[in-house]
Structure 1
Amino acid sequence: MAISRAKLGVSAVALLAIGGAAIAQQKPESILPPGFDQPPATAPRPAPTRAAPAPAQSAAPVTTTAPVGAPPIAAVPGTPPPPAASPTPTAVPTDPVTGLPIGPAFGSVHYALPESSQRSLDLVGVDPADGVTNPAAFGKADGQYIEALMRNTQAPIASRWVSIALRRLLTQPLATPRNVNGADFAAERAFLLLRMGESVMGRAIVQSVDPDNYTPKLYQVAMQAALATGDVGAMCPLVTNAVKISDEPAWVLGRAMCASLSSSPGQAKPLMQQASRVATGVDLLLAQKVAGKGANKMDVTIEWSSVSNLNSWRFGLATAAGEDIPDTLFDNTGLQMKYWQVLSPQLVAYKRAHYAELAAAQGVLSNAALVDLYGLVDAGDDTNTPANAIANDLATAYTASSRDGRLDALRGLWKSADATEPAHYGRLVLTARAAARVPVAAATDGSDDLLASMISAGMDGSALRWRNTVARGSLGWALIALADPTSNARYAAGDVSAFSVSAEKQKMFAAGLAGLGRIDNAAAQSSGVDVTAENSWTRKIDRAAAEGRPGEVLVLSAVGMQTTDWRGVSPQAVFHIVNALRVVGLGGWARMVAAEAVTRV
């Protein structure tokens, strides 16, 4: 292939808290967003909805072309051409806490971008080559409604393929829907990405908005994106304006760290003293350790023995400081933070690999990225780790001289996977390309697992080579029936009943075929899938599909899969999601979701 909910709570997500030594001055509040910690926090303060925001209140949208009818500037013979617009520094302000001048080194002197370099809030996003649809993906949908859907979606979600499609949608350039502020809409997109474990893409969306256009909500999410990626430097261009807008203690600590990192020791020391009034314990020590890598050299030792929980502040600063976080502290964190660790290039490969297969099952890592990561493990200095054993077996699956040798290595990898479903599915993703290299043979040698592995990574073309070898009624046969992009075949209730691997898989098979239009609804009904039942969610996703709004369809697909356990996803939900994706032109994604459902239940 080419291709029951918590509120957002951003006002509380950047409040730095600890179990005993808190960053808040009064009552400690968790720095974690809802879904990362319990209980969920309150919703963020939205910026006023305007046509286009400006640093303080509002301004007209920025244009990148000269006014219509403006005459060209004529060059006078013998004189140099007029200079291009250049950044113009403003007056240097003083820090409201220390009274010291705030130097330009950590982002406080304001430079006005040339008009031609300013980015409009009407279209925000990155990576257009990786998008799933055109920029008008939300059509005429009300932006406040779309924001509410994203804000109330618990993540991660069940489906790897819905997650991948949603990530590409949220990352690509998107036209800002009506009735919302473009920067606020970017904040909602970025925060959903962070909750999905997509730390790098979340930061990219935050940084796709010019700092002059930041709103309180975007400042809050920007702090979380910086922590999720262990990138303290991402805070530094924002800290001066952030402390004026936000009362979050994180920004007080951010100023101190950025002053030191920017070689402003005269400012760093008093700012760190100020930070000690709002942070204590390991949270302050981590900030001091990060600052110690800059102008104010400090020897700080971090003791984790007294730390009972890991939050995003501790994760982000420890990652930035090169501090090894004990594995046990991840036991009670959300899955998102584990995926952040997988995406952290600052860490050694075997540490990143610890949760890498879970991240692949979620769609955070592709097959290629996962194989590359184990390649780094194999090439590293660390030995005798579980990741090294997997890397060695994977190498054998690729390079064994015989077909049987490759199959034995693949079976060993599948058998040694953690017994949980996500871990097993992540192992299928890991082995997809190795499975595709196995020569086609009779269907009696475990082709079901080979096909499930290939299709888990979207390699439907490789899977189709086995079309004439799989037995009717087998898992491989069902997967090909769903994943085949060229098939015009129609199926009947008898075909569904022939697929008798399990009752749950049989219903998912019927739901997928019905959603793809390869079986009629009556046959699906007779197979136990009630495709006619309605509720608020089914009406919304069906209407969004009928009216041609793929962006809304993808967001609603995530809403329908708010669980990490596929046993919580109904065949009816799979039918409506697959059908809606197909109707809006995302047929490839629809086929992958249908095949994934049959594989994972």
Structure 2
Amino acid sequence: MTILWDDIEYFNNWRFGLGAATGVEPPDRLYAQAGRHVQGWRARAPMLSIDSRMKAADIAAAIGVFSNQAMVDLYAAAYDDPETGDDRKALASTLRQAYTNDTAQSRLGAMRDLWGRSNGSLTRYSAKILTARAAAKIPPSAALGDESADLIASMLSAGLDRSAARWADIVDQGSDGWALLVVATPTRAAPVTYDALDDFGGNDESDGQLRSKFLLAAVAGLGKADQQTIDEFAADLDLNLGRTTKWTRAIQSAARRGQSGTVALLAAVGMQGRDWNAMSPLHLFHITQSLKQVAWSQKRG
């Protein structure tokens, strides 16, 4: 049987499965039509070439299909594979430098090359996942304060919150690195202050101060600031976290009953959208608050 892709204009899951199973891959123009989930399948398909899997790895990692370990393993295989293209081999070599170079500065330089290789949001995020354990090997240093946010974001992308927390004494109050640690650190000795939130808001250049609204929603949902601080900063942002909808009432009710599965399902419903611009700070507030509540109820149980 001969599979010809030249006249195919519509790509679907069946055609991907047929091509992968027979080793006759569709061209990149058809992959470009497919949903992100297909790139996840492509990255995980062992029968496909390493070069092809690497083309899909960025999207696969960004949507949660590929872990840091899976990404590193794939890049390591590409480094040793004679059939992998030069561009992919160069990326694998850069990753190797990020993990093995002698000095923190040279390892960080390799990480910067990987982080900055694309303006695409998914590729930028997947690069953080790729370098997570390399970032964890960088010792906290005041001299690297300007790089702290990227290093912390990289560690947190793979769940390395304990490693990221080592930078707590390095980051400046109100900085991006500080904001990441405020939300990600499981415990915090002192509540978040209004001045700290205001410092972050003063540096926030996002449209409508969306980043500040997300930060406040997360801090409030996790109970990391007192109510007066939350109310004051919410007023500055013109953000009403007290507004209720049918969805907020549903997730609150499920959280009160300790129904963790229902809370997780409603959280997924509340996070529909292809990027964070489609996400509501109100939804994030109720998601974090409800997830924390059901986790606490399970601990007590």
Tell me the TM-score normalized by structure 2: 0.91
Residues 1:567 and 1:386: Cα distance change in structure 2 (over 3 Å): farther
Shift of 1:384: 3.2
Opposite residue 426 of structure 1, the aligned amino acid is S
Residues 1:567 and 1:338: Cα distance change in structure 2 (over 3 Å): same
Aligned to 1:547: 257
Distance 2:88 2:247 in 1: 42
Distance 2:233 2:64 in 1: 29
Equivalent pair of 2:136/2:164 in contact (CA under 8 Å): yes
Aligned partner of 2:292 among 564, 577, 582: 582
Spell out, residue by residue over 1:466-501, the C-alpha distance to the aligned partner (whole angstroms, 9 max, x if none).
111111111111111111112142123322111134
Distance 1:569 1:513 in 2: 16
> SS of the residue aligned with 1:499?
helix
* Alignment of structure 1 residues 423-434 onto 2, 5 Å: 423-434=123-134
Equivalent pair of 1:394/1:409 in contact (CA under 8 Å): yes
Aligned to 1:513: 219
Distance 1:508 1:342 in 2: 31
Distance 1:527 1:574 in 2: 18
Opposite residue 522 of structure 1, the aligned amino acid is D
Opposite residue 100 of structure 2, the aligned amino acid is T
Aligned partner of 2:101 among 400, 404, 407: 400
Spell out, residue by residue over 1:411-462, the C-alpha distance to the aligned partner (whole angstroms, 9 max, x if none).
111111x212222111111111111111221143411110111111110100
Aligned to 2:40: 339
1:357 counterpart = 2:76: no
Aligned partner of 1:487 among 188, 191, 196: 188
- The count of residues paired between Structure 1 and Structure 2 equals 287
Distance 2:99 2:82 in 1: 22
* Alignment of structure 1 residues 130-169 onto 2, 5 Å: none
Spell out, residue by residue over 1:503-553, the C-alpha distance to the aligned partner (whole angstroms, 9 max, x if none).
222111111100100122424532433210111111111111111111111
Spell out, residue by residue over 1:49-93, the C-alpha distance to the aligned partner (whole angstroms, 9 max, x if none).
xxxxxxxxxxxxxxxxxxxxxxxxxxxxxxxxxxxxxxxxxxxxx
1:463 counterpart = 2:169: no
Aligned to 2:69: 368
Equivalent pair of 1:524/1:531 in contact (CA under 8 Å): no
Opposite residue 331 of structure 1, the aligned amino acid is A
Aligned partner of 2:122 among 422, 443, 454: 422
Aligned partner of 2:150 among 422, 437, 449: 449
* Alignment of structure 1 residues 211-360 onto 2, 5 Å: 300-360=1-61
Distance 1:491 1:476 in 2: 14
- Structure number with larger C-alpha Rg: 1
Distance 2:232 2:62 in 1: 31
Equivalent pair of 1:492/1:523 in contact (CA under 8 Å): no
1:572 counterpart = 2:282: yes
1:525 counterpart = 2:234: yes
Tell me the TM-score normalized by structure 1: 0.46
RMSD of equivalent CA atoms: 1.6
Distance 2:37 2:167 in 1: 37
Aligned to 2:139: 439
* Alignment of structure 1 residues 192-203 onto 2, 5 Å: none
Equivalent pair of 1:432/1:456 in contact (CA under 8 Å): yes
Spell out, residue by residue over 1:150-191, the C-alpha distance to the aligned partner (whole angstroms, 9 max, x if none).
xxxxxxxxxxxxxxxxxxxxxxxxxxxxxxxxxxxxxxxxxx
Equivalent pair of 1:511/1:524 in contact (CA under 8 Å): no
- Tell me which protein shows more helix as a share of its residues: 2
Distance 2:217 2:16 in 1: 41
Distance 1:562 1:335 in 2: 14
1:478 counterpart = 2:169: no
Distance 1:376 1:391 in 2: 9
Distance 1:377 1:438 in 2: 25
Shift of 1:321: 1.0
Opposite residue 274 of structure 2, the aligned amino acid is T
Distance 1:526 1:431 in 2: 38
> SS of the residue aligned with 2:85?
coil
Distance 1:523 1:358 in 2: 39
Opposite residue 571 of structure 1, the aligned amino acid is P
Equivalent pair of 1:378/1:388 in contact (CA under 8 Å): yes
Equivalent pair of 2:67/2:158 in contact (CA under 8 Å): yes
> SS of the residue aligned with 1:444?
helix
Equivalent pair of 1:496/1:527 in contact (CA under 8 Å): no
> SS of the residue aligned with 1:548?
coil
* Alignment of structure 1 residues 490-505 onto 2, 5 Å: 490-500=191-201, 501-502=203-204, 503-505=209-211
Q: List alignment gaps of at least 5 residues for structure 1.
A: 1-299, 588-601
Opposite residue 512 of structure 1, the aligned amino acid is A
Shift of 1:361: 1.4
Opposite residue 513 of structure 1, the aligned amino acid is V
Once superposed, which parts of structure 1, at least 4 consecutive aligned residues long, lie more than 6 Å away? none
Equivalent pair of 2:50/2:84 in contact (CA under 8 Å): no
Residues 1:471 and 1:398: Cα distance change in structure 2 (over 3 Å): same
Spell out, residue by residue over 1:254-283, the C-alpha distance to the aligned partner (whole angstroms, 9 max, x if none).
xxxxxxxxxxxxxxxxxxxxxxxxxxxxxx
Residues 1:554 and 1:326: Cα distance change in structure 2 (over 3 Å): same
Opposite residue 145 of structure 2, the aligned amino acid is T
Distance 2:285 2:90 in 1: 40
Equivalent pair of 1:350/1:385 in contact (CA under 8 Å): no
Distance 1:578 1:343 in 2: 31
Residues 1:383 and 1:333: Cα distance change in structure 2 (over 3 Å): closer
Distance 1:353 1:468 in 2: 37
Q: List alignment gaps of at least 5 residues for structure 2.
A: none
Shift of 1:561: 1.1
Distance 2:274 2:23 in 1: 31
